[in-house]
Structure 1
Amino acid sequence: MNDTPLYAVFGNPVAHSKSPQIHAGFAEQLRDPVRYDARLVPVDDFHGHWRAFLNEGGRGANVTVPFKQQAATLADQLSERARQAGAVNTLVVTENGEVIGDNTDGAGLLLDLKRLEAPLTGARILVLGAGGAVRGVLEPLLETGPSEIVVANRTVEKATALAALFDAQGRLRGCSLDAIKGTFDLVINATSASLAGALPPLPEMLFNEGALAYDMMYGAVPTVFLQWAQRHDVRCVDGLGMLVGQAAESWYQWRGTRPETTPILEALRADLC
């Protein structure tokens, strides 16, 4: 019998996932051996594969598309940030067998932004998009004390609905992409446009001096959004650090220790190049 703690990432597709490499790096760094594998799950049998995983002794899992909402339904408890996000990307099995659903995306983003010494407290922040990824990061961003967060989306109703949901003393508002006004210290692209190689319609005057442009997507070359931002002479960063950060938060939920993310991020970056 293998007593090494068992973890996995569930998804469809999942072969591209960097989670096994990231968690192998954490295990080596912390000298805490675990088994961690990628599991391709049929879209109509997530619950069955989760039960089989538990029968193997599974202690926790990461969950990626298209199962984040389904993962929330099988958890015995949801963390507050999972409730806010409306989705689960981390499942934790407690010693008594209870399953807790968590969402570590916001914590991962904040960990990376703090690593980058991004403007946060007192800053004016623009978030592009109003999908599930944005739901998971608004509360953590608000907790850093910005002067204002503007959520801009092609469908304005989605942006204003999110602003109403997370309303915090008037520091959060929603608008359409063509109604963006003023300049910002931090601009986060959370739209799916990067996946399609497209650029959201944005005003040319968008960045304050010393601003940071951050795209939640990542790749071997800068996204179209980051290429556009580079022409405006601002610091540009992709979302690879957020990926490592949310994984580090998952590891902490499972193992109670906090990995150092920089060496893992550097190794992943080198593999992309």
Structure 2
Amino acid sequence: MDKYRVFGNPIKQSKSPVIHRAFAQALNQDIEYDKYAPEVDSFAQAVQAFIAEGGKGANVTAPFKEEAMRLCDELSEVAAKSGAVNTLSFKGGKIYGDNTDGFGLVQDLLTQGVSLSQANILMLGAGGAAKGVVASLLAEKPLSLTIANRTKAKATLLAEQADSDIVSGCGFDELTGSYDLIINATSSSLSGKIPEIPTNIINEDVCCYDMSYSKAPTPFLTWARQQGATKVIDGLGMLVGQAAKSFSIWRNHMPQVAPVLTMLRKELQTQES
């Protein structure tokens, strides 16, 4: 039986095993998928140990996505542009890296009826989560992509790395103008906080997307609604979408996202009620 795993720290909350087992069952694939939390300074050793055990591939989540990239012998074009890896494949003694976060985000937005072409997009945050989706967002031909971060230098650096004249970086306190889509790529919702951005950039015409998810609307989405946003979306669809792409890379079969997303949403309501 082919073995797969998700690495992260913390990892207890990860839905990846549930998602991939559901994909495997739906497609009659025989796999084993578990989760593991290496110490923050022993990620590389943990990956090598998994390979030695016969592991075929792995997902990677915080805080290891950038370190995962450095482990790879070869990178997909998307991973190379992202500067972060969330999907590892082990073949012929080599480690191949990809990043499916952007795919998951874009597909979820399109499925939810959000237009990206010719849109003015604001992304909050400039860490690994943001890095992983810039290339995929730009592939949809938006009008502009503004990256804002509490520390301006990080946003400016990520904007420069995007190597596109439609991408700019700024600090939260410098935000002005209007946007069609605001994506929260910070971890603020996990700690119950809200990015310190001006309230006047949110109105009823702006779609607000949070990469985090929970049973109830996240703090960011709750706040966005209070400012007048009428279309708010959490990141559960992105999670299932990026997992589906990872599964297809490993198994050459693309799972259906909708049934697993429905299952997870129901499970979330049951567990937290």
TM-score by length of 2: 0.92
- 1:230 pairs, out of 225, 232, 241, with 225
Query: Quick one: structure 1 residues 247 and 160, their matched pair in 2 at CA, closer, same or farther if it must change by over 3 Å?
Result: same
Q: Measure the CA separation in 2 of the matches of 1:49 and 1:124.
A: 41
The reply on whether 1:86 has 2:83 as its aligned counterpart is: yes
- Aligned ranges for residues 114-193 of structure 1 at < 5 Å? 114-168=110-164, 170-193=165-188
TM superposition shift of 1:38 = 1.2
Which of 69, 75, 88 is matched with 1:72 structurally? 69
Q: Among residues 4, 23, 27, which one is paired with 1:7 in the alignment?
A: 4
CA distance in 2, matches of 1:82, 1:125: 21
Q: Distance in 1 between matches of 2:194 and 2:239?
A: 22
| Corresponding letter in the other structure for 2:186 | T
Q: Is the 1:12–1:40 contact (alpha carbons within 8 Å) kept by the matching residues of 2?
A: yes
Structure 2 residue 198 is matched with structure 1 residue 203: yes
Aligned partners of 1:151, 1:50: CA distance in 2, in Å? 32
Query: What's the RMSD between the two structures over aligned residues?
Result: 1.7
Partner of 2:240: 244
**Matched AA of 2:197:** L
Is contact 2:158–2:169 with CA below 8 Å preserved after alignment?
A: yes
Tell whether the 8 Å contact from 1:133 to 1:190 is kept in structure 2 after alignment: yes
Q: Any gaps of 5 or more consecutive residues in structure 1?
A: none
Contact 2:208 2:229 in 1 (8 A): no
Cα deviation 1:66-88 (Å, max 9, x = unaligned): 32233223221122222222222
Bigger shift: residues 10-19 or 123-132: 10-19
Can you list the C-alpha shifts for 1:174-204, whole angstroms capped at 9, x where unaligned?
1221221221111101122212211222333
Work out whether 1:102 is the aligned partner of 2:133. no
- How far is the alpha carbon of 1:13 from its aligned partner? 2.4
8 Å CA contact 1:119, 1:211 repeated in 2: no
TM-score (norm 1): 0.92
Counterpart Cα distance in 1 of 2:204 and 2:41: 49
Give the number of equivalent residue pairs. Answer: 268
1:209 Cα offset (Å): 5.0
Q: 1:203 to 1:17 in 2, by over 3 A?
A: same
Amino acid at match of 1:194: S
Percent identity, aligned pairs only?
A: 49
Q: How far apart are 1:44 and its partner, in Å?
A: 3.4
Partner SS state of residue 209, structure 2: strand
When residues 57 and 134 of structure 1 are mapped into structure 2, their CA distance, relative to the original with a 3 A threshold, is same
Q: Match of 1:136, SS?
A: helix
Q: Name the counterpart of 2:20.
A: 23
Whether the aligned pair in 1 keeps the contact of 2:117 and 2:141 (CA below 8 Å) is yes
The SS at the match of 1:187 is: strand
Which residue in the other structure is 1:219 paired with?
214
Q: 1:66 to 1:152 in 2, by over 3 A?
A: closer
Contact 1:106 1:136 (8 Å CA) reproduced: yes
Shift of 1:172: 1.1
Shift of 1:56: 2.4
Contact 1:184 1:208 in 2 (8 A): no
2:9 is aligned with what amino acid?
A: N
Shift of 1:33: 1.9
2:261 to 248, 265, 270: 265
Give the C-alpha shift of residue 208 in structure 1: 5.9
Cα distance in 2 for partners of 1:116, 1:159 equals 27
